[in-house]
Structure 1
Amino acid sequence: MSWIPARAALALLGVQPQTLYANVSRGRIRAKPDPSDPRRSLYHRADIDRMAVRRTGRRSAAAVAQQAMEWGDPVLASGISTVEHGRLWYRGCDAVELSDTWTLEQTAGLLWGAEDIVFGPGRRRAQARNASLLSNALSVLATRVDVDPPSRGRARQVLVPEAMRLLEDVMAAMLGPAPEPGAPAHRRMALCWKRPRAQDFLRRALVLLADHELNASTFATRVAVSTGTSLAAGLMAGLATLAGPLHGGSTLSVKELHAAAQRDGAAASVREYSARGYALPAFGHPLYPNGDSRAAALLTRFKIGKVYAAVCQEGVALTGERPNIDFALASICEAFKLPPEAPFVIFALARSVGWMAHAFEQIETGHLIRPRARYTGVALP
C-alpha cells in the first residue's frame, strides 16, 4: 500500500490544502499519521490518483471499471454492510458494538432479515472425511448442488431455512457432530476443540467476521447465484474463493512470520521480510487507514503471546500500520491453543453468514452479474 505526504498529494491534485482536508473528512481520501512525524499526515496514493483523474475530466468507462475492481468505487448496490469512518456497519449497526454481546446466530438474523436462526441439527447423514476440512466442506456442499432447487425466483422465506441447513452441513464437515444440541456456534467450536475458555473470543470473532461488504468471496457468491444456481453452489463459490492466500488463507502467512520470529527473533524476521521485498502480512488494511477496528476490538481484550507482541511492535515500527483482523485471529488461536486449522474454520463459518445474506439480496434483484472485459490482445482488423 502506497502513502504519500501532503506536498505530493497537493501537487497531484492541483488543489489547496483546504480541499484536500475536506476530501479526507468526507471519506473520499484515506489519511493516517506519519510514523516519522505524528504532527503530519500521509495520504493514500490510490485515492489521490482517483481524485486527480476526476479533476482532469470525465473518466472513461474503462477507467471507471478498472478502478472499481481495485479497492475503488462501489460496483453493486447493497444494504447489508459497509465500512465508513473506519468502522464496520451491519445494516446501520456498528459491528464492534454488536460483538460485545451478540452471537453469530443473532448476526445472521440481522443480516438475513429473519428471526429464530439456528444452525443445526441439520440433515443427519454421514459427512465426507477427506484430506482437509476445506475439502470436507466442499464435498458435502457438492452433494447438494444437483439436489437443491435453483435459487432463481424463490422467496426469502424458503431460502432462509435452506441456508440454515447448509450452514449446519458446513459446520458438521469442519467441526464434526454437535456435542451439545442447540448450542450456538461459538460454544460448539469451543466444545469441539476442548477449549471452553475461548468461548467469548470465538463469539466476538464470529460476529466481527460475518460480513465485510463486497470482498472477493462475497462477490464470487453473488456472481454464482446471479445465474440462478442453488444456494449450495453459491456457498461453494464463496468457500473456494476464501481459501486463497490473499483472502481467508492469509493467516497462514501470519503463522509463518510467527514461526520465523520464534526461531530468529521478531526484529530479524520482520527485517528479512522487508529485505526480500515482501509486504508484511496482517498489517494495515485499505479500508481502515487508522487501523482495523475489528482487530482492535479483539486485541484489547486478551494478552497476546510474547512472540506475537514482539512481531506487532516491530511490524508497526517498520510499516507505520497497525495489525489487522488476520493478525488478531492468529493471535487468539495461539493464545488459546486452538488447532492449526482454527483460523480458517472461524473465518469460513462466520463469513458463510454474510455470503447467504448477499445471495438473498442478489436473488431478489433478478439480475445476472456480467461485466465486460477490456480487450488488450492482438489488434483487430
Structure 2
Amino acid sequence: MTEACNLLGVQPQTIYAYVSRGKLEVMPDPADTRRRLYRAEDVAGLAKRKQAGRKHETLAANTLFGSEPSIPTALCAFSRGRPYYRGRDAVHMARTATLEDAAQLLWAAERTVDFSCSTPMRSGKPGRGAAFAALASLAAAGHSTGGRLTRVLHAEGQGLVGQLANAFGASPGHEPLHLRFAKGWKQSSKVADLLRTALVLLADHELTSSAFVARIAASTGASLPACLLAGLTTLSGPLHGDASGRVRALFSEVERLGEDQVLAHYLSNGLSLAGFGHHLYPDGDPRAAALLALFEPPKVIARFIAKVTKLTGLQPNIDVALAAMVAHHRLPADAAFGLFATARSVGLLAHSLEQLGVAQVIRPRGRYVGPMPEPA
C-alpha cells in the first residue's frame, strides 16, 4: 500500500477507490494475509496517465479508452467488495427481496412496482429473438420520454419488463416475476426462490457498457423501449451479459471430456477460463458466492470449479453461478441470458430515467487519426 501511494502520489483512500473501480488489481499477500499486493502494471499505467497531464487533447483521447466514462449516478456503487443499490447491500437484499422490490428502490418509485402481464407471447419460440422483436416493435411506435410525468414512465417501464419476461418464457399472470418464470419453466417453488435471488443480484451493476448505451439513448429523448432495446442489444455480447453462454460451452466440454483434461488444455495453452475472476471483485464475486451457496452444482462442474480456483486463484463470478444453476435444474438453454436480461432491464430503465434529469445529450468527441483532409 505504502509503495503504491508513493508511486502515485495519493492517499490510501484513493487507492481503495482505484480498486473499487477496477483500475487496480489487488490480491492477498501469500506471506501475510493482512496485507494486499497491487498489480505493478496497473500502478505503472496509472502513474503514466497522471504524468500525461490534463491537457484538452490528452483528456479527450483518454476519456473512453485510457480511463472510463464518468457519469454521476445514485443507483449503484461498490464498497468493500460488494455492490450496493442506493446504499443498500444488494447481496443482503437478495436474501428476501423480489425483483419488484429492487425496481421500486432503483426507480425511486412511490408506488409498489408490479410486473404482472396477462398478454401472452406472440407465436414463436421463447427466447432472445422473441424478446428483441417485441422490443423493436414497441420502440418503433414508442413516444419520447420528454414532457411525460415520472409515474407515467414508471408504469410504462413495468409493462416493458413484464412483456420481456413473457418473451423469455415466463408464464403470463399477476404473480411476482420469479414465480412466473418458475411456472413457465415448470419448476418447483424451491427453484422459484433461487430465481428470485438471482434476479435481485442481477438488477444493476453501476455504469456497465449496456447502462452507458441506455443513458446515451435516453439523453436524446428516445422512448423507453428504445432505451431498453439499445441497452439489451449491448448486453447480449459474449463479453457482457451473455458471458454465461461462454461458461455453458466450457461446462459442456467438462461434461464431455472431464474436468482434468479440459483444465490441462486451457492452462497449458495459457487460455482464459470464462466466468472466473472479476476486476471489480479481486477477493471473489459476492453475487456468485451467494447464489452458489443455495444449490449443489452437478458433481463434475463442482469439481471443475474447485480445481480452477485452487490452480489459478480465481474465484467463480456470477456467470459461472448462472450457468451452473441452469445446468443443475435443467432450465431452458437460454435461461441464463433470459434471467440476466430481464433483471438488468430494471437497471437499464433506472439509468434511463436518471439520465432524463440531465438536460444534455451525451456526445463524445472523436480524435481523428486518418489522412489529412484534401484541400478545398
What TM-score comes out, normalization by structure 1 length? Answer: 0.87
Distance 1:14 1:77 in 2: 26
* Residue among 127, 142, 158 paired with 2:136: 142
Q: Compute the displacement of 1:27 (Å).
A: 4.8
What's 1:3 paired with? none
1:276-335: CA deviation from partner (whole Å, max 9, x where unpaired): 443211011111111111111111222222122122122223332111000011111112
Distance 1:71 1:204 in 2: 35
Change (3 A) 1:19 1:338: same
Which segment is superposed worse, 296-305 or 213-222? 296-305
Change (3 A) 1:125 1:375: same
Q: Secondary structure at the match of 1:149?
A: coil
Q: Tell me if structure 2 keeps the 8 A contact 1:99–1:208.
A: yes
1:6-45: CA deviation from partner (whole Å, max 9, x where unpaired): 8xx95xx693799786654455544112569867644245
Q: Secondary structure at the match of 2:242?
A: helix
Give runs of aligned pairs for residues 164-183 of structure 1, distance below 5 A.
164-175=158-169, 177-178=171-172, 181-183=173-175
Distance 2:13 2:239 in 1: 33
The number of aligned residues is: 368
Which segment is superposed worse, 255-264 or 55-64? 55-64
Distance 1:362 1:46 in 2: 35
Which segment is superposed worse, 45-54 or 368-377? 45-54
Q: Compute the displacement of 1:200 (Å).
A: 1.3
What's 1:203 paired with? 196
1:61-84: CA deviation from partner (whole Å, max 9, x where unpaired): 455455553594452111111122
Give runs of aligned pairs for residues 149-164 of structure 1, distance below 5 A.
149-164=143-158
* Residue among 217, 226, 231 paired with 1:233: 226
Give runs of aligned pairs for residues 253-272 of structure 1, distance below 5 A.
253-272=246-265
* Residue among 112, 116, 120 paired with 1:120: 116
For 2:152, give the aligned amino acid: V
Q: Tell me if structure 1 keeps the 8 A contact 2:288–2:316.
A: yes
Q: Secondary structure at the match of 1:168?
A: helix
Which segment is superposed worse, 47-56 or 274-283? 47-56
Q: Secondary structure at the match of 1:89?
A: strand
Change (3 A) 1:321 1:370: same
What's 1:94 paired with? 89
Q: Compute the displacement of 1:273 (Å).
A: 2.2
Q: Tell me if structure 2 keeps the 8 A contact 1:190–1:198.
A: yes
Q: Tell me if structure 1 keeps the 8 A contact 2:287–2:317.
A: yes
Q: Does 1:315 align with 2:311?
A: no
What's 2:291 paired with? 298
1:45-68: CA deviation from partner (whole Å, max 9, x where unpaired): 564134313553624445545555
Change (3 A) 1:99 1:177: closer
Q: Secondary structure at the match of 1:248?
A: coil
Q: Does 1:194 align with 2:190?
A: no
Superposition CA RMSD, Å: 2.7
* Residue among 210, 221, 231 paired with 1:217: 210
What's 1:362 paired with? 355
Q: Tell me if structure 1 keeps the 8 A contact 2:170–2:180.
A: no
Q: Tell me if structure 2 keeps the 8 A contact 1:31–1:289.
A: yes
For 2:254, give the aligned amino acid: A
* Residue among 251, 268, 275 paired with 1:282: 275
Distance 2:217 2:157 in 1: 15
Which segment is superposed worse, 79-88 or 348-357? 79-88
Query: What percentage of residue pairs aligned between the two structures are identical?
Result: 38
Q: Compute the displacement of 1:245 (Å).
A: 0.8
Q: Tell me if structure 2 keeps the 8 A contact 1:121–1:168.
A: yes
Structure 1 residues not aligned, in runs of 5+: 1-5
Q: Tell me if structure 2 keeps the 8 A contact 1:211–1:353.
A: yes
For 1:58, give the aligned amino acid: G
For 1:264, give the aligned amino acid: L
Q: Tell me if structure 1 keeps the 8 A contact 2:128–2:168.
A: yes
Distance 1:195 1:356 in 2: 28
Q: Secondary structure at the match of 1:83?
A: strand
Change (3 A) 1:292 1:256: same
Distance 2:65 2:274 in 1: 19
Change (3 A) 1:137 1:17: closer
Q: Secondary structure at the match of 2:27?
A: strand
